[in-house]
Amino acid sequence: MAARVQRALETPGLCPYADDPYAVSLHDISERFRSCATPVRVRRFAHAHHAWLNGVTWQIANRAGGRMPGLDDYLTMRLHSAGGEPTYAMLEIVNAAEVPAHEMDSPAVTALTEMAICVDALDNDRHSLAKGAARRQTDQNVFTVLTHHHRLTEQQALHEGIALRDRVLVRFLDLREKVMPRAGRELRRYLTDLGHGIRGNTEWALRVPRYLSPRDATTAPGDVTAPETPPFTETPLAEGPPTHHLPTIGWWWDDLA
Amino acid sequence: MAARVQRALETPGLCPYADDPYAVSLHDISERFRSCATPVRVRRFAHAHHAWLNGVTWQIANRAGGRMPGLDDYLTMRLHSAGGEPTYAMLEIVNAAEVPAHEMDSPAVTALTEMAICVDALDNDRHSLAKGAARRQTDQNVFTVLTHHHRLTEQQALHEGIALRDRVLVRFLDLREKVMPRAGRELRRYLTDLGHGIRGNTEWALRVPRYLSPRDATTAPGDVTAPETPPFTETPLAEGPPTHHLPTIGWWWDDLA
């Protein structure tokens, strides 16, 4: 099914799977993209969507097999399964500002995109923590991975998970500042909006029933109310490269600028 | 495992999975590519490799589940599982000639790349037919798909499969001729080499033990000798859009030039 939906997205013209409502919907979106964006941007979105479907497949396979991945594998999977890739691939379409390929595919910009996705994914893990606990879910998230494989208490895992997220965000801000001065107009727009995406993701989490209804995702607007002024801090819990051995993301701290 | 190998390919610098011989080998190849090709070309190869691994996963899942896909699904799968994407993504690296993104991602060039892969895949199906028959394999290929789902005899399926392959090759040649006059230097080189790839694939098939040893793939140089002058024809078995309902490839016959 996933493959047909993906192929529908990639196929210009008539929807190839007219009897599949998911394929038809995604094809409709892709045709709208084609009508307002260049083939480069549409293709980037298609690649991103493909990677997302694969990440989700991996996540479902883990769940079906009762496998709790290690932290490094979890992060590799989560970079794809979180849905950040297609979300951020829409920035260029919405802004009508195409980042030239030599900038977009550079290691620094690739890493910055992945970092933004990683922060979002770890934030989502945190936002769904209350719900997971209320429903006694032991699904894969950065905290269950840490308690499972690193013999941490829930409190320790919470601290480690947030520290990891803060490390990535600090590195994102640091590297972005280094890349900005020699970035073209479209890339500056894109990198700025990656940051908006990180902020937007937490804003969104304060409002959606998905996180505010611990027992039932379909109860709207949710039986938990987010604080009107959520607490925040200017001080990261940790900075610098991760202390765990995490080769899938460790290279983000290399000299990429 | 596939995900780690893929991540090794995507990670610049030290190999993230030093104890995995497949990851180390592919990472070594990617570092060589990085030393001689631009990030755009390396990223295109990485995307192609990702898609290939997914296609193979799909194929293996079908085999494990005893599923014989329909012809349209089979073609979608085969476009990825055949390995043509990473092969053709190396053209730009070998030629040191990068096709600009607005040309590479255009519907016409996307379709031409897929058509070349499709012809190669169907040729491979045909080359391995003798072997499959000798080993009584009933694995997924265009002929078993046709006999299974379209109630054709083996002889009819052979005719239909070759006719489909010829239709795609004729369309490839036709569309390529239309695209060439307004293609830049690098795109002309790329499109020419897609054609060389189709020819090279059949040349290769005449020599490899894989096809020449019907009973045992490891017997070299093979207990069947290819004819010194293989017969060939200038006349395709069929032309025009496929007569079967094949939405995954049907759009190749749209006005893309």
Residue of B nearest to A53 (CA): B54
The identity of residue A30, as a single letter, is S
CB contact under 8 A, B105 and A51: no
Residues 6+ apart with CB under 8 A from A232: none
Interface ipTM: 0.89
Query: pLDDT tens for residues B184-221?
Result: 999 999 999 999 999 999 999 888 877 776 665 555 55
Residues of B within 8 A of A101 (CB-CB) are 40, 100-101
Residues of A within 8 A of B102 (CB-CB) are 38-40
Give the pLDDT of chain B (257 residues) as one tens digit per residue.
688 899 999 999 989 888 999 999 999 999 999 999 999 999 999 999 999 998 998 899 888 888 999 999 999 999 999 999 999 999 999 999 999 999 999 999 999 999 999 999 999 999 888 776 665 555 889 999 999 988 899 999 999 999 999 999 999 999 999 999 999 999 999 999 999 999 999 999 888 877 776 665 555 556 677 777 878 889 999 999 999 899 999 999 999 98
Please identify among residues 177-236 of chain A the ones whose CB lies closer than 8 Å to any CB of chain B. none
Question: Most B CBs within 10 Å: which of A45, A71, A248, as the mutation test of the B interface?
Answer: A248
CB B173 within 8 A of CB B102: no
Q: How far apart are CA B39 and CA B36, in angstroms?
A: 10
Q: How far apart are CA B78 and CA A192, in angstroms?
A: 40
CB contact under 8 A, A54 and B58: no
The identity of residue A119, as a single letter, is V
How many CB atoms within 10 Å of residue A109? Answer: 23
What domains, with CATH codes, occur in chain A? 66-253 (1.10.600.10)
Query: pLDDT tens for residues A200-256?
Result: 999 998 888 777 766 655 555 566 777 778 788 899 999 999 998 999 999 999 999
